[in-house]
């Protein structure tokens, strides 16, 4: 029983350490691929926080946040030019353009998110969990009054249709439980990952490439209860 308890404690400690690492990345102090500009944008939005809140009206809050983000974009000279003739495809949340033979540019208006901060958190989590398809925030683009983040990503050409059962197995091995359709939840981390259908997860050379992720952070993401209990037990 003691051995099983020790194994359980070690597992809990590893999860808590992972959670803490992710928290530092989201807070802007931890390092992750292409994180600097994303974290800088998030820090600015947090510092210049609006007097309104999402609960007072999601649209009003998002509009105020967008206005503040535009001020930061202008001071940082982050407007980015996009060659619209290189259009590839369009989904509900983003438009895709070729950048060159090996890269694409994606324009995302953060429509799936209550706030731009939530969208930036999604980019950071993607870059941590899936560094092979990391997003680099190149700047921002405005079209017909809509603000888009412009992110660069490696172009992945699949050579085999993706098996959703393989995706499910891969996610389960990494602590993410399939909760409905193509949506997953890691209850220990407090993270939800949605929309992992076979157009958002591609297969090449036997490996899965997650090219379009939709991460959400739950309130429990910020709680680290087990590690305190474990460390207290070890010291007592």
Sheet containing strand 183-186, edge to edge, reads: 177-180, 183-186, 191-194, 214-217
pLDDT of residue 4: 33
Can you give the C-alpha Rg of the chain in angstroms?
19
Stretch 26-54: mean pLDDT: 89
Distance CA 61, CA 58 (A): 5
* pLDDT tens string 54-69: 555 678 899 999 999 9
The pTM score is 0.88
Residue 8 binned pLDDT confidence (cut-offs 50, 70, 90): very low
Q: Are 183 and 192 in contact (CB under 8 A)?
A: yes
* pLDDT tens string 103-158: 999 999 999 999 999 999 999 999 999 999 999 999 999 999 999 999 999 999 99
pLDDT of residue 12: 65
Q: Are 72 and 139 in contact (CB under 8 A)?
A: no
Residue 223: domain span: 2-235
* pLDDT tens string 164-189: 999 999 999 999 999 999 999 999 99
Say how many C-beta atoms besides its own lie within 10 A of residue 170's C-beta: 16
pLDDT of residue 6: 36
pLDDT of residue 231: 44
Give the count of domains, the chain: 1
Distance CA 73, CA 178 (A): 38
Question: Chain-centre distance of CA 182, in angstroms?
Answer: 16
Distance CA 221, CA 23 (A): 8
100 by Cβ neighbours in 10 Å (0-12 / 13-18 / 19+) ranks as exposed
Q: What dihedral do alpha carbons 192, 197, 198, 204 form, nearest 10°?
A: 0
Decide if pLDDT at 228 tops 60: no
């Amino acid at each position: 029983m003691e051995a099983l308890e020790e194994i359980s404690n070690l597992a809990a400690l590893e999860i808590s350490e992972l959670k803490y690492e992710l928290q530092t990345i989201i807070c802007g102090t931890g390092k992750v691929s292409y994180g600097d500009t994303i974290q800088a944008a998030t820090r600015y939005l947090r510092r210049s926080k609006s007097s309104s809140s999402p609960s007072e009206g999601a649209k009003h809050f998002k509009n105020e946040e967008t206005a503040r983000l535009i001020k930061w974009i202008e001071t940082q000279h982050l407007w980015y030019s996009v060659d619209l003739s290189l259009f590839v495809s369009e989904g509900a949340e983003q438009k895709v353009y070729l950048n060159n033979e090996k890269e694409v540019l994606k324009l995302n208006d953060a429509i799936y998110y209550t706030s731009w901060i939530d969208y930036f958190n999604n980019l950071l989590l993607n870059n941590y969990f899936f560094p092979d398809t990391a997003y680099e925030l190149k700047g921002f683009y405005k079209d017909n009054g809509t603000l888009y983040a412009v992110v660069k990503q490696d172009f992945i050409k699949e050579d085999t249709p993706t098996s959703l059962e393989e995706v499910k197995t891969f996610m389960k091995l990494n602590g993410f439980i399939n909760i409905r359709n193509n949506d997953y939840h890691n209850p220990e981390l407090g993270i939800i990952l949605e929309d992992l259908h076979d157009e958002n997860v591609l297969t090449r050379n036997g490996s899965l490439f997650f090219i379009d992720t939709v991460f959400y952070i739950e309130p429990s993401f910020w709680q680290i209860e087990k590690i305190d209990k474990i460390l207290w037990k070890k010291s007592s």
